[in-house]
């Protein structure tokens, strides 16, 4: 294997491609195979690529080395999601930047289950490995139902859908304030606080706490929409 990778590298003359990071220049040329948890294109099209969160940011290694063996040397293990342990490793990698999300996640029933060696949702389950997916009120219920199949008003999936619906409306309302909305600045502040607090609680997956946070802002939502 190592021999094949070295041959690859010597044939490719990477620096001639003109990018400082050899991981991306080389991996862009590798045919996608079943071993990939995410393709080069998944990363390239993600928000992470736009904000320069690249292969080294998550995998470590040496982004200046032209030979795969050298580049891969010292890569941080991110796991492959196959075991509870590897899910915890991967979550830790994401958590190195998303510290607030990780801290909330570490309080969740999901995290507790992983620590006990059981299967539970981790970052990849909802965002994919490169964080390129963001759930919406249309997709969230189906994702939860993968492990929480119960149906009905008070089921995990139904509550998650309602939560994201209100949360998304609230965040849009405060980001794009409608000039026709009859709200004073204290009320805008309540909406903003409600959305921020709900988002801060979300990754702990304590749906009661999230619903409590949203309850402060919800009565203002119709007014906040104004003529929209």
- Shortest CB 219 distance to ligand HEC, Å: 22
Residue nearer to ligand HEC on the CB measure, 15 or 219: 15
- Shortest CB 70 distance to ligand HEC, Å: 8
- Shortest CB 214 distance to ligand HEC, Å: 13
Residue nearer to ligand HEC on the CB measure, 171 or 182: 171
Q: What sign has the CA pseudo-torsion 95, 40, 141, 137?
A: positive
Residue nearer to ligand HEC on the CB measure, 97 or 222: 97
Residue nearer to ligand HEC on the CB measure, 29 or 219: 29
Residue nearer to ligand HEC on the CB measure, 183 or 207: 207
- Shortest CB 224 distance to ligand HEC, Å: 18
Spatial distance between the Cα atoms of 170 and 173, rounded to a whole number of angstroms: 5
Contact (CB, 8 A) for 66 and 19: no
Spatial distance between the Cα atoms of 181 and 128, rounded to a whole number of angstroms: 37
- Shortest CB 200 distance to ligand HEC, Å: 9
- Shortest CB 221 distance to ligand HEC, Å: 16
Spatial distance between the Cα atoms of 148 and 156, rounded to a whole number of angstroms: 7
Spatial distance between the Cα atoms of 208 and 202, rounded to a whole number of angstroms: 10
Residue nearer to ligand HEC on the CB measure, 52 or 227: 52
């Amino acid at each position: 294997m190592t021999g094949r990778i070295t041959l690859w590298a010597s044939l490719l003359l990477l620096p001639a491609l003109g990018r400082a990071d050899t991981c991306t220049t080389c991996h862009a040329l590798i045919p996608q195979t079943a071993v990939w948890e995410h393709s080069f294109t998944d990363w390239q099209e993600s928000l992470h690529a736009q904000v320069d969160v690249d292969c080294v940011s998550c995998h470590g290694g040496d982004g200046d080395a032209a030979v795969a063996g050298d580049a891969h040397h010292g890569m941080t293990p991110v796991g492959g999601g196959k075991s509870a342990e590897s899910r915890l490793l991967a979550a830790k990698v994401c958590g190195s930047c998303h510290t607030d999300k990780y801290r909330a996640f570490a309080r969740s029933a999901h995290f507790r289950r992983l620590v006990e060696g059981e299967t539970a949702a981790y970052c990849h389950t909802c965002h994919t490995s490169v964080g390129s997916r963001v759930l919406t009120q249309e997709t969230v219920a189906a994702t939860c139902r993968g492990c929480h199949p119960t149906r009905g008003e008070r089921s995990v999936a139904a509550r998650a859908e309602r939560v994201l619906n209100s949360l998304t409306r609230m965040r849009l309302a405060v980001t794009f304030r409608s000039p026709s909305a009859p709200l004073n600045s204290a009320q805008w502040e309540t909406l903003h606080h409600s959305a921020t607090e709900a988002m801060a609680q979300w990754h702990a997956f304590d749906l009661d706490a999230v619903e409590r946070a949203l309850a402060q802002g919800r009565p203002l939502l119709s007014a906040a929409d104004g003529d929209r």
